[in-house]
Structure 1
């Protein structure tokens, strides 16, 4: 095992520890408050938001106009991850600019940030999958992307639940939903919305929104990229 592979194993071990640690007291309190707020929201609103997010994500990952990256083969782990880090950097900077532009417009352009930022993050995951040698034309690989997305933007309790699925993907993949319509979109949108709301609420405020949007998108994209790297390491380093 070369030095870089040892380094990757060490990073993966630290990431697994972070995914499996119990929720903090603050995290439990915050989640409780968010759950209460969600209980107050009418069911019709939840259904509308769930449908909107489901349709947006499906359009990104299943649309006929989507150009699926070709899997990269015959690369060492070090070469793959050099390319992956560069792609994350590119998407991180792109998302930061997008957040600054939409944040500068206050609440109106702030709403436009939601689908734009979602598309940037999903496209990054497709590129990362290809760089690690996985073919996202395969339906199960697209589901894997959704679980990476969900574990990145969810509570610590949800991460505790999902990390076992990612660790044992080859065992779980055959029991997963047969199509995207059977995916748990309600939980997906609640986790994502609660996580993003805390990070990006101030982006809707004129003047300061540009700075908040740029920083939030930068950090959230980097966070997703790091999780994607380690999720694929789980499969490659085994």
Structure 2
């Protein structure tokens, strides 16, 4: 039954072709954009001048990320709102039923459609958020960074659900933070993360991955440093509106793209393994 359902969804040739596209995308991930590299410098210089309440707010975001990894914290999403997008109109459905369909019968192309829809929606939301907090200049960055971090974690959880994975599981939350880390890492960091995530593609969520995230504070530090230019320009409120919108949009778009590609790869690899096990 599993083989019949899977065969009707997509062929092994199709899956190999799509996997090749993702691998090509991975190879194209370059070092930080030139302006992003420079953008880290103002943050380092301005850090000493930043009021304590802003530093405390950013520190709170770091602590909340640790809580998210351990328990899900305040960032866990409502899976029903995402899974119902896959339910046939007018049909009776359950969360477990839709999740089973995502594993076995829902075409990856359909998963992509929903993931793209969610990514576009969250990117628009982040753009508005960036413009709104830019109105207040430098001080509203204390609000913007934690909010954007929360939106990033939310969109990655929603994308995980699109491809049939449950963000309530700790291993998935670790994968999600790795996706977040991937978007703000340089080329060396990206290569290392892809190696780390290979164990997920092989179905081996070992304690090795968990131990690698003991330094999860570095994830937020890297994430925070990418806001260098934004912090610089938010010293001028009007400029903060423009740059807040642009940088938030770019950041969320990158997070959504990375989440989609990395989760898509996992689902493709798992389906290929299923087909190969049946054929073998």
The answer, yes or no, to whether TM exceeds 0.5 is yes
1:14-72 per-position Cα deviation (integer Å, ceiling 9, x unaligned):
222024x6x58969x869x85xx59x97xxx9x97885333222455622684441564
Cα distance change, pair 211–91 in 1 and its aligned pair in 2 (3 A):
same
Asked if 1:226 is matched to 2:257, the reply is yes
Asked if 1:53 is matched to 2:53, the reply is no
Cα distance change, pair 194–69 in 1 and its aligned pair in 2 (3 A):
same
Asked if 1:176 is matched to 2:209, the reply is yes
Q: 2:108 aligns with which of 77, 90, 93?
A: 77
- Matched with 2:220 is 189
Q: How does 1:200-211 map to 2 (within 5 A)?
A: 201-211=232-242
- Matched with 2:22 is 12
- Matched with 1:166 is 197
Out of 75-84 and 158-167, give the one that drifted further. 158-167
C-alpha displacement of 1:192: 1.3
Q: State the SS of the aligned residue for 2:227.
A: helix
C-alpha displacement of 1:121: 1.1
Asked if 1:102 is matched to 2:133, the reply is yes
Is the CA contact (8 Å cut-off) linking 2:130 and 2:248 kept in structure 1? yes
Is the CA contact (8 Å cut-off) linking 2:111 and 2:162 kept in structure 1? yes
1:114-137 per-position Cα deviation (integer Å, ceiling 9, x unaligned):
111111111111110011100111
Q: State the SS of the aligned residue for 1:208.
A: helix
- Matched with 2:276 is none
Is the CA contact (8 Å cut-off) linking 1:154 and 1:195 kept in structure 2? no
- Following the alignment from structure 1 to structure 2, what is the Cα–Cα distance between the partners of residues 218 and 173? 34
C-alpha displacement of 1:5: 4.7
Is the CA contact (8 Å cut-off) linking 2:230 and 2:247 kept in structure 1? yes
Q: State the SS of the aligned residue for 2:210.
A: coil
Is there any run of 5+ residues in structure 1 with no aligned partner, and where? none
| Larger Rg, first or second structure (1 or 2) | 2
Is there any run of 5+ residues in structure 2 with no aligned partner, and where? 1-10, 84-98, 270-280
Structure 2 length-normalised TM: 0.68
Q: 2:175 aligns with which of 125, 128, 144?
A: 144
C-alpha displacement of 1:213: 1.1
Is the CA contact (8 Å cut-off) linking 1:165 and 1:172 kept in structure 2? no
- Following the alignment from structure 2 to structure 1, what is the Cα–Cα distance between the partners of residues 248 and 34? 23
Cα distance change, pair 9–121 in 1 and its aligned pair in 2 (3 A):
same
- Matched with 1:125 is 156
C-alpha displacement of 1:150: 0.4
Structure 1 length-normalised TM: 0.79
Q: State the SS of the aligned residue for 2:151.
A: helix
1:168-216 per-position Cα deviation (integer Å, ceiling 9, x unaligned):
32345342337x9x62123223321222324664244211111111111
Cα distance change, pair 53–9 in 1 and its aligned pair in 2 (3 A):
same
